[in-house]
Amino acid sequence: MSSLIGVVNYGIAGNIHSIKKAIEKAGGLVKVINTTSDFEKVDSIVIPGVGSFSDAMKELHKAGFVEILKSTNKPMLGICLGMQVLSSIGFEYGKTKGLGLIDAEVKSIQCDASVPHMGFSSIDVVNTNKLLDGLEDEKFYFMHSYEVINYTDIASLSEYAGHKFVSSINRGNIYGVQFHPEKSREAGIKLFANFINCSILGNKHG
Amino acid sequence: MQTRIIVKLDVKPPYVVKPVHFEGLRKMGTPSEMAKKYYNQGADEVFYIDIVASLYRRKILIEEIEKTANELYIPFAVGGGVKSIEDFSQLFHMGADKVVINTFAVQSNPSIISKAAEIFGSQAVVVNIEAKKIANKWECYTDCGRIQSGKDVLEWAIEIEKRGAGEILLQSVDTDGRQKGFDIDLAKEVVDSVNIPVVVSSGAGSLEDIKDLIEKVKPSGVAIASLLHYDKITIIDIKKYLTENKIEVSN
CA of B52 to nearest chain A CA: how many angstroms apart? 26
Q: Which residue of B has its CA nearest to A137?
A: B251
Query: How far apart are alpha carbons A89 and A105 in whole angstroms?
Result: 5
Q: CB–CB of A50 and B120 under 8 A?
A: yes
Q: Which of B123, B200, B243 to mutate to test binding with chain A, by most A CBs within 10 Å of its CB?
A: B123
CB contact under 8 A, A14 and B93: yes
- How large is the average pLDDT for residues B26-41? 94
Report which DSSP code applies to A156: E
More confident site: A3 or B39: B39
Residue B154 domain flag: yes
Chain-centre distance for alpha carbon A175: 6
CB contact under 8 A, B123 and A17: no
**Best CA proximity match to A80, nearest among B113, B121, B86:** B121
> Structural domain tally of chain A?
1
Number of Cβ within 10 Å of residue A161's Cβ equals 13
Domain hosting B238: range is: 4-244
- CB contact A29 to B (< 8 Å): no
**CB–CB of B73 and A139 under 8 A?**
no
Q: Which pLDDT does position A94 carry in this prediction?
A: 86
CA B118 to CA A12: how far, in whole Å? 12
Q: With 0-12 CB in 10 A as exposed, 13-18 as middle and 19+ as buried, what is B237?
A: middle
Percentage, residues of chain B above pLDDT 70: 97
Query: pLDDT value at position B31?
Result: 95
- B141 Cβ contact list (under 8 Å, min separation 6): B130, B131, B132, B147, B148, B149, B173
pLDDT of B153-179, one tens digit each? 999 999 999 999 999 999 999 999 889
Q: Closest Cα to residue A82, out of A192, A176, A195, A199?
A: A176
> In this predicted structure, what is the pLDDT of residue A205?
46
Per-residue pLDDT reduced to its tens digit, B202-233: 999 999 999 999 999 999 999 999 899 988 89
Domain harbouring A105, CATH code: 3.40.50.880
H or E segment at A119? strand A117-122
Nearest Cα residue to A133 out of A179, A192, A185: A192
- Residue-level pLDDT at A13: 54
HEC sequence for A28-58? CEEEEECCHHHHHHCCEEEECCCCCHHHHHH
- Sequence-ordered alpha helix ranges (H) in chain A: 16-25, 53-63, 66-71, 81-84, 185-205
For residue B119, being part of any structural domain is answered with yes
Q: What ipTM goes with this model?
A: 0.89
For the beta carbon of residue B166, count every other beta carbon within 10 angstroms: 27
Task: Give the C-alpha separation, B236 to B251, whole Å.
Answer: 9
Q: Is residue B141 part of a domain?
A: yes
Number of domains present in the structure of chain B: 1
Please state the pTM of the whole predicted model. Answer: 0.93
| Predicted pLDDT at A206 | 39
pLDDT surpassing 70 at residue B24: no
Residue numbers in chain A where pLDDT is lower than 70? 1, 12-14, 202-206
- pLDDT at res. B57: 64
The pLDDT assigned to B120 comes to 86
pLDDT value of position A12:
57
Kind of pairing between the strands at A163-171 and A154-160: antiparallel
pLDDT at B59: 66
* CA–CA distance, B90 with B68 (Å, rounded to integer): 15
CB-closest option in B2, B97, B122 to A183: B97
Give the structural domain span for A184: 4-205
B250 assigned to some structural domain: no
Instruction: Give the model's pLDDT for residue A57.
Output: 94
Q: How far apart are CA A143 and CA A139, in angstroms?
A: 13
- Look up the CATH number of the domain holding residue B136: 3.20.20.70
Write out the catalytic residue numbers of A.
80, 180, 182
DSSP string, B120-152: H-GGGEEEEEEEEEETTEEEEEETTTTEEEEEE
Give tens-digit pLDDT for B86-119. Answer: 999 888 888 899 999 999 999 999 999 999 998 8
Read off the pLDDT of each residue in B13-25 and give the average, rounded to a whole number.
Answer: 79
Has residue B249 been placed in a domain? no
